[in-house]
Structure 1
């Protein structure tokens, strides 16, 4: 027992001596600068050198305790499988780095680095939303301990993982060639599931793909890559698609202007005639698939059936007969078919035979036509608008003697000419008897 007390007293005394020595050594730098070297310079320099050597010896052997901050120590996330099982995802996933304050003997602390420190945060308590997760710590050293972790928590923003269908939209990036347009666009599939954090999936408005149509002249089919877009038209990153493309079938249409053709069956009342047939409008713009439109030049209207008792002009509205797959552009009203119907009339003109001109008679011959007392009746039959304004001066009669080569009696046909064409013209009589003789010369 006495031996034990004596050893304890020796250790306490040694501790006091070491403590006083350390304090004296720590005060050496100030003593060096305060020293005056006016007397005993050699002795004093030797004392200083010995003091410095002793100071290094003590610092190396005594090894005092110090505190140090190790920066940018990584924090590991453990039990992350719990996140997957609960359909959760960390939105601010990154390398989490914190500072660690350690304390211990100087040599051990100075030789320490971040690889000797293990920090971790357990994901089992994480839920959807903002989570403050405590940082656990351990150190691979028996002589150095962790004093503090700054900060001692990491902040995790966690979102629920969902999968929702979103519509597919195809965007045309340019314009069709003139007269061409989009007749139909089939998209398959029309919806595709988008998976990812709930906030990101909810921000997806549609899955968009882009195609160019300027070089197209006919129908077009292809696969189109899809990108998720927000309601503001921005690309949404951080989500995945069940399928990254859609199949499209673009049916190209064409517009063209074609004429309208009326269809009339039957005749008007007896003694009347259809003078003209008009349609309003005369042309119409149609649209449809390219091949169908290219095959069209005219369109017929619905058949107009005459009953045989029509005795005046009429206007009838009829619809267009459109082939399957053809539509009209800008035609809001039925087609108007206008029939101009006029009465057929006859007009008579009387000419004296003596006033009928003689043409192509041999200059050595003469005829007694000027003494013929007979008359010629000309009956012209045509529609009312022609007959109404027809006058005798519009019809020119003549007798052509070009075939008369000798004197004698002949029966010549009465010829007529007119600037207008008539439906029928009757000349009565049709022939005239004439006598051709020599011209009598007076001696």
Structure 2
């Protein structure tokens, strides 16, 4: 019995050993046909953010992974099968190392221990995301004009919200909009950029993409008021005399246009303008500048010490007038005559009125140029020349084309010594004339001793 048990155990051991050897041989055969290999992928890393945190540094956003798997599996893998990320949830503020995690579809059979990531961690600097509301204040530089004062100022909006990292935002104190005054006399309304200041009144630059500002500009109003007993009043120019004939008065402009006056408040309040002394414009024919004094009421003084000048603007009166000119033929060839269809041309001249009044019709020249023209009828554009006076020019003329008939002035005369013989059969108004043969060569070698000529070339014979 003991021997039987020993035999069974011996056979079982042999069977187990054979099974192990068979499995090993099968695994070796499988591996030989589908060996283990590695494959590298370059992948981007996404970030899962905390809602109340902001990343202050620029973390590494691309890593390399190395996957070891059977060749058949690797052949089907693509970079898009993997999702690499770092999770900021639960990470504290400040600098920290976060592991790079990898995810892939569950139907891909991979051994997680066979996936390597380079680098395996990424350094991230986190800060708390906060929002603060800062007051907007108006900063005034410069001064208003003399006898004026700043009555107050305001900004719209009067508050601004700033969102960003706590280390940058919590140090802020306020935002300011700066307005510059340079002898300003009236209330100013301007749009100005906002500049942010910290608790030590140092200007802070907030141009990071991690900071969001609700408003970067503000509309600022600075109220400028006159002090009691002072007022800005306009200057009223007075003049006398008549300017030269043929000229037009355009304007008399004072510089400055207003002055600041001082005096009893009840008197100052009633002032609307201050007149100048009279300027004599008699015979003036050009623009000019006059230095003038002001005719001030009693107990009223002027604050400015700058001289007051008046620029008087005058110009010539420019107009048009119509002149009737007689056309003249020029350039007609010898033994030609011209018959002009019209005898008058209306010419419109433009220029100073005073100069136009001195021009007569005969001073305007209208030429009909016929250079190179032969017999016939033509429409010719005349050449109009105004008198050589300053500022005079031709604006138009009518008619702009003139009909001209050109004819010859040559008339053939038949002498009494020529052989002229009336012959029966010649038409009324025609006659026979004997012509030497050498003068008639129209048909060669044909003797011709006479020609029939129309009556207009000689005397009519009956």
The two structures have a TM-score, normalised by structure 2, of 0.38
Bigger Rg, structure 1 or 2: 1
Question: Counting helix residues as a fraction of each chain, which structure ranks higher?
Answer: 1
